[in-house]
Structure formats: structure tokens, C-alpha cells
Chains A and B, each alone.
Chain A
Amino acid sequence: MTVGLGKDLVGLAPLSPEQINLILDTAEPFKDVSERPIKKVPALRGKTIVNLFFEASTRTRISFEFAEKRLSADTVNVAASGSSVSKGETLVDTAKNLEAMRIDMVVMRHYSSGAAEFLGNRIRSNVINAGDGKHEHPTQALLDLLTLRDKYGRIAGLKVCLVGDVLHSRVARSNIWGLTKLGAQVAVCGPRSLLPRGVEELGVTVFDHVEDAIQWCDVLNVLRLQLERMEAGFIPSLREYYRVFGVTAERLEKAPHDVTIMHPGPMNRGVEIDSRVADGPHSVILDQVTNGVAVRMAVLYLLAGGKPELADAAKRGAAPD
């Protein structure tokens, strides 16, 4: 049976386990492309891709751009500041104008939850969500899954704990969807003010103490503490946060077995994570970055030319040949 992805990638919530595995399996050969003497294949030759970023991003935008270039696509970067967006143009108008210049795909980061799906339903081009508000950041979760699969050979049965600001984290949401769909056990840990109410209903365990999470888990995915949250009163101070929830070498020493450390970046060393942990032997933080390019190549490859009919067919569990 052939599985497709359809037209857009807005999140992991709508995907089946088969579709997630298809992306991870497809990412494997793309890892090798980045190791070739000529780091380029012609799969997306002639495709034009716009990276439309309404929010700041370094890693994700550069990772997407490498992925696009290594597939031979032509790329244009549009940042909200310095474009007509700052003159009040609506999202759909911006995208329709880009489409009038005959683009094929849009990679978008937006501050509003649901922006990617909204746009995908209104333009012909394929839309890939590079993070929308507090909703999802699917390619980040996919690269996390790929990194875990590389390390453990499987996802099912792994115990993964997301530590920190789960409330505002689209990375956490996408990870929870992806991990649970592939059979991992998921927990969250953080101050109650930074955990979404009712998170248990997603099938997630809640730890109030990071020490307890460390006793339980195989993997800690340490989320960035967004500094603006402190100003908004979610936590009393950064120093107190580090004292209570910081992932430190001393805390990890008490773990019954080695704990793999992940972080989606950018890190605040000395706030959510200790440098000795971030640079330690169990950190896979830079592997995550390497895998990001491969996973994004896989998503671009699988979506290119995809149409809504294929998505519907894929949801029914079959796709036309």
C-alpha cells in the first residue's frame, strides 16, 4: 500500500503513524546526500520555494534553506520586517501575490496558531508549517523523532519527558503528537504556571519535580525558557527557575541510567540547562541539527507536486497510483 502526505504539512496531529514513519524512512537516504562530494540532487529542480518568516528564526530557516538548495530548488526568503507585511498587507494577499509570480511551495513561520492551515486552504502551493504560534512545529518534532530512532533503533516504549515551558511551546505539542502516535510514553515537567491545563488528557504524565522526571525517563527534551515569559509573570525569576527546574549535571548523576539530552535551541545556558549537560556525552543536540536538514529534505520531496486529493486518499489509507 502506498502512503502519501498530501498537499501541506501543518502539524503532526493530523498524520497517521504510517505517514510519520514514511517521512522518517525517507529522511534516511537524504542524510547521505549531505555527505556526498556534490551535496545536491536534482529532485526539485525548477521548483520555486518561498521561505515566509513572520517571526525571527535562525536554525529553522537556514535548515530549510539548505534542504531546499540540496534538492536543487530555487529559494527566496521573505521576512516580515522590511516587506509589505509591515505596511499592513494581509497574509493571504502576500501569499497570492507570491503565487502570481508562480511559486510552488511556501515554508511559513507565523506568530498566529493555525496560520499554516489557514493559508494551505487558500492557496494552490504546498504549505509547510515552520512553526505557527503555540500550535505546532512539525519538522522540529520529526527531527527529534529521527534523532531518537537513530540512537535507540525504535520510538515505541521510550520514556520521553519534555521539561520547561510546555504551555507556550509548539515544539512540545508536535512532540507529544509524534511520540504518542509512534508508541512512546510521554511526560511533561515544569512549573504549573507553564503547563497547559488538562495536558493529562493527551495521555501525558505530569511531574512537578525535575528529579522525579529524571528517575523515570530515558530522554529529556529540554525546552527553551522564553525570557519574555518571566516578564509576563509566569515565573518569579530565572535564577529560581534554574534552581528548581534547571537540568544540571548534579541532578542527572542521580539517574538510574543514562539520560539522553535534547534541546530544540536556541539554548539559554544556565537557565533551563547547565553547560556541562548541554556539552556532555549524552547530549544529542547537534545531531538534532544535522537531522533537521535530512527531515526537511524528506518533507519537501514528499510534498512537492502533492495535491489535496492525495491527502484525502492518504487519510483513507490508500493513495492513487
Chain B
Amino acid sequence: MPRPDRNTILDARALSRALQHMAVAIVAMAHGTDDLVLIGIQRRGVELAERIAKLIESDRGVTVPRGALDITLYRDDLETVGPKPVIGATHLPGDLADKHVVIVDDVLFTGRTVRAALDELADFGRPKRISLCVLIDRGGRELPIQADVVGKAVKTNAGDRVDVLVQELDGRDAVDLIRAVPKEVTA
């Protein structure tokens, strides 16, 4: 049995540098922090949003409101998934009207999660602007959606897997790329 090859594309230090770079890019994009709200997508996006918010806070000496969004109930494939996915918590920091909302997620792939997040946010209010910030952009979009801030872009194939590991949930920080093993032809 050949093992799929697992490569670390960001180690803990590189991940930390990427988050620092993303924090700076977000503040530049939002022209400061006045109306800024970070919304992490469950689950790892929530941890990343928390870390980026802390980086901005320690750099600028301000409080950055943040929230968590679970998009399960807005998925377009609920019909076809087997047992229903577990739903995480959704909590937003107050009214989003006139805010610049930055959606934070770990990996941007097909774009369907972001589509669901946009629909869900619309049910909570009307932000003046919504941007997208992701740690890894792995290509492979199925919808016309692009990120405004990207930690690292990686070329991948459809069957590959990108694992984002964070200290809070996984015990360590890293991003691994697991290449799909080409299917062997059975005799």
C-alpha cells in the first residue's frame, strides 16, 4: 500500500509570520480598525480570527470585535451528505450595519463555504463592506469568489487535502498538504 505523501507547507513559525502579515494587510485594507469586525468560520476560522484580532489589538492598542459563524444550515449540499453534520455555535458581536466585516477562514477551495457565509451574514444585517481573508488559497474555485487577503497560495489537485492544524484544537500549529495517491488500476 503506497502512503499518501504528507508535506508540511507551513510550520509553526511560518504560520505565525503568515498571520502577522494577514493582520497588517487587513488593517491596510480597512483603512484602520474603526469599523472592523472579524468573523471566523467554524471551526478553524474562528481560532484564526481570534489570533489575527489579538495581533491587531497588540499592534494598535484597540479592541477588535469578533464573532463566529457556522454555515452548516446554509450549505448547498445538505441534501446529499449522509448523516447530518454537527452544527457549531454562531455568535456575532452586535449589529453589523455600517461595519466592515472580514470573513476569516482556514482554506479557500471551491468557494461554496464563502457563498453560504455571505447568505448567512445577509440574514443578520447589512454590513457596509464584506471582505475575505484566508490562510491558504488552494485554487479549484467552483464559484466566482476570490480572497482579499491570503496567507499563502498553493497549487493543488482536486483529490489533495490541506490540513490546517492549530494549537487550540490540534495541539500544534502547522499546515500540511496531503497529495492524493493516483488510483491504481486493479487487474
Interface, chain A (partner B; CB < 8 A) = 2-4, 25-26, 28-30, 32-33, 36-38, 40-43, 71, 301-302, 304-305, 310, 314, 319-321
Closest chain A residue, CB of each to CB of B122: A38
Closest to B125 in A: A37
> Please, which residue of chain B has its CB at the minimum distance from the CB of A44?
B78
What A residues does B70 contact at CB under 8 A? 29
Give chain B interface residues in 46-88, CB to chain A under 8 Å.
70, 72-74, 78-79, 82-84, 86-88
A4 touches B123 (CB 8 A): no
Indicate if the CB atoms of A4 and B78 lie closer than 8 Å.
no
A301 and B84 within 8 A (CB): yes
Asked if B119 CB lies within 8 Å of chain A CBs, one says yes
Chain A nearest CB from B43 CB (Å) reads 13
Q: CB < 8 Å: which of B73, B84, B89, B125 contacts A41? A: B73
Asked if A36 contacts B83 (CB within 8 A), the reply is no
CB within 8 Å for A29 and B82 given contacts A41-B73, A43-B73: no
CA distance A320 to B81 in the complex (A): 10
5 contacts between A and B (CB under 8 A): A29-B88, A32-B90, A36-B124, A42-B74, A319-B82
Expressed in whole angstroms, the minimum distance between the Cβ of A311 and any Cβ of chain B is 11
> How far, in whole Å, are A264 and B32 apart by their CA atoms in the complex?
54
The answer to whether B82 touches A40 (Cβ under 8 A) is no
Count A-B pairs with CB separation below 8 Å.
55
Q: In chain A, what residue has the closest Cβ to B76?
A: A42
Looking at the assembled complex, report how far the CB atom of A26 sits from the nearest CB atom of chain B, in whole angstroms. Answer: 6
Contact A32 B89 (CB under 8 A): yes
Bound Cα distance from A304 to B120, whole angstroms: 20
Q: Which of A2, A33, A41, A42 contacts B83 (CB 8 A)?
A: A2
A304 contact set on B, CB distance < 8 A: 78, 84
Q: B23 CB to closest chain A CB, in angstroms?
A: 29
Where the two chains meet, the residues of B that have a C-beta atom closer than 8 Å to any C-beta of A are 70, 72-74, 78-79, 82-84, 86-91, 119-120, 123-125
Q: With A29-B70, A42-B73, A42-B74 known to touch, is A4 a contact of B89 (CB < 8 Å)?
A: no
Closest to A71 in B: B73
Complexed CA–CA distance, A29 and B120 (Å): 14
| Distance in Å: Cβ of A36 to nearest Cβ of chain B | 7
Shortest C-beta distance, B87 to chain A (Å), equals 4
A26 and B86 contact, CB distance less than 8 A = yes
Chain B residue at smallest Cβ distance from A3: B83
With A36-B123, A36-B124, A41-B73 given, is the CB distance from A25 to B90 under 8 Å?
no
Q: How far is the CB of A4 from chain B (nearest CB, A)?
A: 4
Report if A4-B74 is in contact (Cβ < 8 Å); known contacts: A29-B89, A36-B123, A40-B123: no
Q: A42-B119, A43-B73 are in contact. Are A4 and B82 (CB under 8 A)?
A: yes
B83 with A319: CB separation less than 8 A: yes
B169 to chain A, nearest CB (A): 18
Q: In the bound complex, how far is the Cα of B120 from the Cα of A33, in angstroms?
A: 11
A40: chain B residues at CB < 8 Å are: 123
* Cβ contact within 8 Å between B123 and A38: yes
Q: Which of A37, A43, A314 has a CB less than 8 Å from the CB of B78? A: A43
Q: How far is the CB of B101 from chain A (nearest CB, A)?
A: 15
Q: What's the least CB distance linking B78 to chain A, in Å?
A: 6
Contact A321 B73 (CB under 8 A): no
Partner of B84, one of A28, A33, A36, A302: A302
